[in-house]
Structure formats: structure tokens, C-alpha cells
Structure 1
Amino acid sequence: MSPQRSLPAPLRANLRRLPTTPGVYLMKNADGRVLYVGKADALRHRVRSYFTARGPDDARISRMVTEVVDVEYIVTDTVSEAYLLESNLIKEHRPRFNIRLRDDKSYPFVKITLGEDFPRIVRTRRLVRDGSRYFGPYASASSVDETLKLLRKIFPFRTCNLEIPEGKRVLERPCLLYYINRCQGPCIEAIPKPDYRATIGQIVDFLDGKQEPIAAELRSEMAGHSDALRYEQAATTRDKLRAVERTMEQQKMAAFSSAEHDVIGMARADDDACLQVMQVRGGKLIGREHFIVEGARDVPDAEVLGSFLQQYYASTDAVPRALLSPMMPAEADDLAAYLADRRGVRVTITVPERGEKRRLVAMATGNAVEALARERAEWMADTARRDEALTALAAALGLTKLPERIECYDMSNIQGTSAVGSMVVFIDGRPEPKEYRRFRIRSGDTPDDFRMMAEVLRRRFSRVAKLRSETGALSLDAVGADEVSEEAGDRPRETGWAVPDLVIVDGGKGQLSAAVGVMKELAITDVPLAGLAKRFEELHLPDQSAPVVLPRRSQALYLVQRIRDEAHRFAITYHRDVRGKRALRSELDDIAGIGPGRKKALLKRFGSVRRIREASLEEVADTPGISRDLAERLKAHLAREGMLA
């Protein structure tokens, strides 16, 4: 092996130790950052090829190799395992030189909990081997919500999280959905398990594209109501039938056979690519989503397609029998073997040249072109608005540079109890939820927004100040911050936080004064501060008596309002969670014999303290771990507190 450059000793040693087995490799730079994740059926041959005199043919990868100082590898038993592991590592590290799905979060699915006696239908981002059936992935949560909304319009099924075993009545009274015919009431044993599961079976068929039997049943039901002069019930059934028929009409465009295909289309522009996936089941188009990938500049189409398909099917069990593609993806044989391993039967990848299948691929490609054009137009318009907002905000506040990272803080409490604080982060004018943090207030039980704001900011910046003092750094950028947690306990973070270019505290001069005091106490002078007054939406600045009033129709004001509203939403959500847990503790902790395990069992059984109050003595006593004597004491305690209806 003749290296192109002088390789670091640890890298040379790693290259010598590489096994000939399948696996995944991670190439890292001098900072330890993962630059590239790859897979191989023979690690030694693949990884060493990057460092030969000839080197890789791809100019992009050649640039990457010049930065590599270390290579780690993980051995797998099969190439299929390497495919799945590579996808997971790309999602985790988002390497700069890999092709990546733009959203690094998990995509949402519709989940039907078939492992339960009375299954639920929910949105989820986690695939668990628990006997559930999953449909997806969908490109957005709103797409899943629209599907669930349609299902609720057509089928009655439960939406609660109660544990409902067969043969047990878990509630004395059902919820409102039962009375408006949106739920069949398994919680009060209003429907036998076989009948409820028959409805769930219809929902599975509906999502699989088998709507005609459902439509026929609804037509018969509507005719029966009409013949019996039950016109209101007939009208309700008619509305359900129309919803089913609209869905069937939308799916007719793909009715060319009874085949099971995923049809792929692709469009590209600069660094981005858009991949369209059309799911055809039983000859009907049952789903269509588009996905954006990054890092595609200078990468051949076949490699972009292959990388997308690998990451897409790593996140779903809905692997079809065949893929119809505009071209053969890179490493097509390995990809087909990987898909066959996930499905359990042979999966084919074909490039149709004529006929109906070719028309479908052309349709998917056209949809991808339109989706990418639409997305790019929105990105450019959004970028222009955000640039305008940041520029105007910087000018109004007298900042020396654009506030690329803005942090906003808000407090939430009721008379000082269950007090919490929130920190939301906007980067380049866009929310960055992974950077959000929550704070449980530790000091005092009396309402004092100024003290709480000071506590949160002190916890956010105190370690920064300490590290700067120890290292003698002149800038916060040199040290970052690695403290502050989402819960009460502060957990160290692996990497530091970037210093904010602007801190906004929700409140007027009082909250701003508290923030200024903390920063002076910590000797931090290079973080601009502003207080947003709630009533007039004016920005107050330190040592400036007159507030800054942003024009009512300015993008800067819209941005500040959005940041403030997001901080408020995040704080309120956390406050409700803390308050709910506090209420459970305060009502049950004083009862002898109810420890953490029994509290958990009660909450799992009834879902909330309110439902525990409403339950009968027999229902409480039927909870695992709760004896009749303990149930009587619990009911007596609640009665003494005046909590029973």
C-alpha cells in the first residue's frame, strides 16, 4: 500500500489491524468529528482503498480523505446488518461527507397496537417489536394526523391510553367519545373483544388499500337505516361512505394490476435531492411522500438513490415485493439482499422501460421535480425573510453582528408552586428544538419571577464563567457550556454549548435587571441582553431608558414574537407536566402503604388522578398490588380532602 500522504501512526496501525469481515467504518478528523460512515463486505479491502496512491475516484471523497486522522470500525455478522448499522450511524452523527436525509429525527408512523386486547391507533416515531402493525413512514406529523382524523371519521375506536384487559370493566363511566359514537366503549365492556378487533381489522384493510369491501358494507348499512326510517343514522353512514369513496377515487390512478410496488422518483438541484416514494398496494396508490436529502453535490445519481433507499427502508418494515426505479441504484445487488432480509422474501429492483410501470416512474419523477421546486422556493423565501428579520433586529438593538443564535427564557408557575423555566434556541432565525432546555426552579416557593429568572440564567452561564476563569479564555466561544439539564439534576454534556449572540428574557425591566445582575456577577460582558415587555411588545435594553419599538409589520417583530411564543409554550408544557406529577404525589404520598410501585400501577390503570377519584371501590381494589383494605383507605383519604364528586 502506497499512501498518498504521510499518515498518522494511529491511522497506520488501524489500517493494519482491519479484518476481512463485513462491517461499518467511521472516518474521523483531528477534532474527533465523524466525517464519513461507510459499510463494507470486507472492511480491510474497502477502507485501505481510500489511502492507496490511486485513491478514490470521487473528488468529494478525495477531499474528505485529506482530513482523516483516524478510522474506527464495527464488525457485523452479515452485510445486511452493516446496512442497518450504517443507516443508524449516519442518522446519529450526520457526517458532512455522507448523503443524509434532511430531517435527522425519526419519521412518524401510524401504529396499531395489535398486541393489546383492545388495540389503539396512535402516531409514533419509534418502531418496537411488540406485535404492533406500523404504516409509514410519513414525511411529517401533520400527514399522520390527517390520516388519523380520516380514520376517526369512518371508524369508532378508542383513543385513550388505558390498559383494558379482556373481561374487565376498568371505568365506571365512559368518556364523551362513547356517547357521540366515536368509540365503542371497551372500557365499560360495551363491546366484546372479537367485535372490537373486527373493526381494527377493517382499519388495517383500509390502510392497506382494501377499501371496496368497507364501502360495500357501508352501502348496505346505509340502505338498512333508510328502510327502517332511521334517517339520522343513514346520514351519518352516508358521510362515512363518502369519505371512503373519496379515498378510493384518489387511488384509482395506479390501478394497473394487483401488484405490490414502491415507485421511486428523483429530482436534483445543487446540494439537494428530492426522492418521491409512491406506495402501490393491490394496484392502488395508498401513500405518497417526498423526502429531501442533503450532501448530494457532485455525487452520482445512482449513489444518491442507493443511499436514500438504504436509509429509508432502515426506518420502516413496509418493504414491498418490488421497487420500480428511474435507474439502478449503486450496489443494487447488496441493496436487494438487504431488503429481502428485512422482508423475509426476495425483493426485486427494476427499471421499467415501457408500459404502465414506466408511466408510474415518470409520474413519481414529475412529483419529485415539483416537490423540490416548491421546497426550494419556500426555502429561498424563508431565508430572505429570516435574513431581513435578523438584519433589522441587529440594527434596532445596536448589535455588532447578526444574532445567529438567539436564546429566549420564560418562567411558568402558579403562586410560586411547580415553578419551572424554559430556554428555547433559534439558530439563523429558525427553532432548534434539540438545543431547548428545561429548568426545575430550586429556590423558594413564593412567586418571584425576577429571582427565578436569575436562577435559570445563573445555572445556564455559571459553568461558562468558571471555565473561562480557569482557562483564561477571552471569549465564551473558546469554552462553551456543558451544564444545564432538561430535568432538575444537571447532567454534563459531551460537547459545549455555543455562546448566544442575543439573550431575550420574557418580561420587562424587572426581568432584564435580574439578567443584567447575573451577567455582572459572572463577569460576562459580551452577551447582548434584551427584555421583551408582554403588554406592548417593546424591547428593553440595559442602560437605556427608552424601549426599542419594532415596526408592527416588520419581519424582526414577527421573529421576536415567534421566539417569545415558543418559549412560553415550552415553559407551559413543562409546568403542566411537573404540576401533574406534584398533584399525584401530594394526594397519594400521605397514604400509608402506597409507595412508588403502587402509585405507578394506579396511574397506569386509571390514567389520571381524576379517574382514580371517579372510580368505584371495586375498580380501585382490582388494581394490581392494591388490596381492598388499602382501596378503602385511599377512598376515605380522598373523601376527607373533599375530592369526591
Structure 2
Amino acid sequence: MKENLKIILKNLPSLPGVYQFFDKSEKIIYVGKSVNLKSRVNSYFNGKAKLNFAKQKMVGKIEDIKIIIVNNETESLILETNLIKKNKPKYNILMKDDKNHIYIKITNEEFPKIIKTRVGPNSKKNNGVYFGPYLSSAYVENILKIIKKIFGYGVSENHFFVTKNSYNLDKYLFKGNEIKENIKNEYSKKIEQIKDFLKQDFKKIIPELEEQMKDFAKKLEFERAQKVKEDIESIKSLEVNQLAREHINGDYDVINFLEKYEKVFIGIIKIRSSKIIGMQNFEIENNLEENLDEIINFFIENNLLTDYLENEAKIPDFILPKEINFSEFVKNKIHLEVPKIGAKKDILNLCYKNIYEFAYKKYISSLSTKGFTKQNMINLLNILGYEQKNKNIIFECNDISHLSGTHTVASRSVIENGKTAPNKYKKYRIKTLTDQKINDFDSMREVITRRLKEILHTGEIPDLIIIDGGKGQLGSVLEILEKFKKDSESSLEGQNLEILNQIQFVSIAKKEEELFLFRDGEFKKFVLKKTDQELKMIQKIRDEAHRFAITFNRDSRIKSMKKNILESLPGFGPKTRKKILKKYGTVENLANFDISELQKDLNKAQIEVLKNHGII
């Protein structure tokens, strides 16, 4: 196996996404999806997957692998389908069935059925509504999986789909059972919604479902209302990933960037007609030491605008994370948006997540193939004037992650004897912050305090604790340590106190990658060469903690989507929710009251949340 592929495979994330295989001419030859990119992509090379002849031949032609991280399995299904449709990769085409075109058919019956068929609309058996033709059987299976995820398999025991070569509905009717009128109506509604879905008429489906959700909520049928709410969330997530989440209408180039490893990394997500049609990442060497604005201006002018103008194509609107000091030429050609909240901010975050992964992959590829060793750790301790505490040397690093103050979490990554030790990684849910509150110091105080308690309990300390940040962050951690010792002094024995005094800290400043420690009453700075393995090792453990925290934050947000309507809003505890439903009957009724009336029961922050979510 090629060396570059070994490095890529080793450092793939265990996240949902889409993978693309490229040949030596840098052409996409295959697109696939997975809920676990690391496991799936590695299976092509480690013999665990049973590959047919075409796929075996394809693996031999792979020269590069690129990935796109998404938020969930449904998004990966949609994105894979779009990329196959756009790029028509050779091996996706070769692996399709060499028979007739494939259609999705919804039959014309009292209880229509959804069928995958090779008999098209022009046949004599045309007794239904047809969608297609589609590229391949796998493509159609993707679409049907998405339908099942959003709309379920049917209504009650009555399925739209074949199960074990027959329909539950057929069995049900054959037994002489009558179908209740409300079941008939619900079944018909879902079939119409599925038709709209296959036409990609999302704007029609969502208002209908929202009305249905409100109707259930009025009748206090909260479980049914919650199920419809989850259907709405699923469709909205498709629109995004079709990430034009919620309402990104039109054509956009979404651009985000990252300064890291002495380079600038730029990512672009192309949205056309509210659908993602592609993602690209670029690595730029800043040899001329230009500032970031100059680099972004040059990139947009030379990589995007020139191409649009030469091909007389419509110039899309641009979404960036901040204002850029553009040249007059660029300024006159583009319309720029800098979102702070909402769907467009979400897609900027997704773009950043993919750039970070791309930058990390490039960085790992640049490292020595032999990786880090125990000797690198000993060298670093010697440079810092620290002692080796354990036979197996352990370095650890913590990181905080949140999204606009929600789902604040932390992580700990560990390197042992030069190798990452995922079995010793740790996740923390931050318990001391109220939702919507952003306070990295309080978050770090909780994490460090919990870690200090753990050290006291086990009597084991790492050889080095790495703090992400400069002198300020290190000073905060030392302040937390001293307060903890003081607060615990009466209950601590001398020996335990000595364990805490032996903890060795170092911080790494983000921009210049300088190291700081506190000794003899002052901060001391250490500047290592950018090529030193010891510096690269600290960078790796810090970046590992960052990636681990981001992943945990994402997972926490996905889980929270399953809460009911009021539970999903920050600042609404059980007592408040109960009071609202008792006094106002339904959430919908809140819109019928003046703000002055609501203020008798709700505080200013809660009313603001209801406004932001369109409830009042």
C-alpha cells in the first residue's frame, strides 16, 4: 500500500460522512458514505470487506482519499447521492445494474404502496405515480432509506413498504380487519408528503407538518406532537445537508479559513439552488508573510471570480465568518454576508469543521512517519526543567467546546510513551454553567477541580498537564489549583498536599506556539523550532483534545434534539414548562397574549428565547 494512503487511513475520524476516492489524474472514481468513516474506508484495504471484482480493481487505482464530515447519517445519504449525480464517478457507474432504468413508483390504490421498479411510466402497467429514472439501484436504496427515516414504515401496522416479501397492510386487510377512518386519513397524508418529498418540495411539506404538530399539541397528544417535530427536524437537516439548513435560499459560496501550522487553510462549500453541490479545501503556503485579508482576497479573486467571469457564470453571494478588507475589484463584484446566528452560521461551522480535519490530515502527513517516541517526551521534560514522574510517561491536555453557550463539554486527550492512548481519553459534561452562558474560565475551573479530585483519589499524577493557551490561561489554572488546595487544606493530609504540589503544567500559546510555565514567581517562555518533534508532539495532543471535544459537543447536541418542544428551549425548566401548559394550554397559545401579560410568568431572557424561535 502507498505510504500516503497509510497515513490517511490511520488518521481518519470515526465520524459520519462521505468519502471520495481519486485516481492518479486527481479524478473522483468512487463516492461512498458511512456513519464511521475510519471503519468503512479502512475496510477496503484491510480485507474485512468482501469486494467484488470491480471494487478490487478500483482499490488498486486509488491515489488519494478525501472526506466530508457531516452531522448525521441522513445528511451523508443525501450528500453522497448529490455527489454521485454531479460527478458520475467511474466505479459508481460501473457498479450500477446494467438493466433498465430504475424508478420509484407509488401505486394508485386506496392504500398506495411504494415500490422500486424497472418498469417505467411508458409501460402498459402504468398504474401509479413514477419518480426517476435514477442512476442506480444503490441510489434508489439511499432515497428509500431517507424516506423510512423521516416518515417511518407506515401508519400503525399498515406499511408502505414490502416486509418479508409482502405487505403488513395486505395481511391486515386479508384478515377482514377494517381500517379506521383516522388511519386512512393519516396514511393518505403521509403518502402525499412522500410525493412532495420525492419532488423535493420541502417548502410544502414543512408547513403541513408544523400544522399537524400544533394540532396534536392542542389536543395534549404530546408524544405524537414530538414525533412530528422529529420528522420536521429530519427534513430540515436534509435541507441543510442539504445544509441549506432551514432557509438558505439561492446560490452561495460559503468560505471559512484557519491559520495553523504556519499555513492558511481555506474551505469552500458551494450551494446552488439551496443544495450543497460540493466542498473543497485548500492549503496555502504563506511564504510572502501576507496578512489574512490579503490571502482571502487573492483566493476569491483568482480562484473564484476569475473563473465565474471567464465562463460568464452568475456570481453567487458569499458567506464568510468576518468582514474582509477586499480590493475595490472584489468589493464591486461580490455581495458578502457575515452571519452571527442561524442556518448560515451553522454552515460556516460545518465548513470550519471540515477545514480543521483537512488541516490536521495535512499536518499529520507532514510529520515523520516514525511518529513520536518516549524519548521525545523525556527531551521535552528536560527542556522545561521538569522531572519524569512515571515509568510510563504520560502527558495530557484538556479542551472546552460549546455552541453559542449550549452543550458545553470538555475533553482530555492523553499521550503515553509517545503514542496516543485513546483508552485514557475522557469526556466531561460541564455541570456548573447555565445554558446560554459562555464562560471558559468557569468551565476550565470545573474540569481542573474534577481532575484534582481524581488525582487525590488515585494518588497518580501525569508527568505533564498541557494547557491550551498562553500565560493568561496558565495563570488561571494555577489560581484554580491554589484555591482548591486552600479550600481543601483542613481535610488534606500532608502527603496528599504534596501530590498536588508535584503537578507539572505547561501552556502552549495558539498563535506563536510558544510554551510557558511558572517558576520562581514568574512566567518563563520557551520557544522551540517549528520542526522540533517535541513541539509537534504538544501540538498533536492539543489538537486531539480539540477534535475530541468538538465531536462530543456535536453528539450532545444531536441527543438534545430528541427533547420535547419546550425542553429544547434554553431556560425553561420543569416548573416553568408545567406552569405554561397549565395556564396557556398549549405553546401555540402563547402567541395570542401580549408581552406584558407573558411577563407576569416569564422573565426577559425566556421571552427573548420564545421570540428567537418564532413562538411569539
**Same fold flag (TM > 0.5):** no
State TM-score, norm by structure 2.
Answer: 0.34
State TM-score, norm by structure 1.
Answer: 0.33
Larger radius of gyration: 1
